[in-house]
Amino acid sequence: MRLRVLSGADVPQVRITLEEEDYRIAGHAHLVGLPIRVRGRLESRGGFRRLSGATGVTPVQVDEAERDRLVKSLQENLDFFEEACGGGP
């Protein structure tokens, strides 16, 4: 799974592997527009940043304005992805 980093590390995104329960929690948080907090060790391999030993996946409550900003950012990224793949309007 690839995550965009909002705070806690000076990298834009990281790759992580989650256990089934943590993956479920992250998926539910994504569906309702909430960021998650994850603990682990940041490593660099082959140009990619990876969070190894990822644990403690927890949804983070944000105020309505911040949540709207995050959802809008996500939508813009999805629109770009669809266009790059030849889909979209």
Domains of the chain by residue range: 2-61
Read off the pLDDT band of 87 (50, 70, 90): low
Residue 60's H or E segment, with its range, is none
Structure tokens of 27? 């998926």
Quick one: what percent of the chain has pLDDT higher than 90? Answer: 37
Q: What is the pLDDT of residues 19-62, one digit of tens each?
A: 999 999 999 988 888 889 999 999 998 888 999 999 999 999 88
Is the model's pLDDT at 86 over the cut of 70? no
Average pLDDT over residues 3-22: 88
pTM over 0.75, yes/no: no
* CB neighbour class for 63 (10 Å; exposed up to 12, middle 13-18, buried from 19): exposed
Q: What is the dihedral of CA 83, 86, 88, 89, to 10 degrees?
A: 100
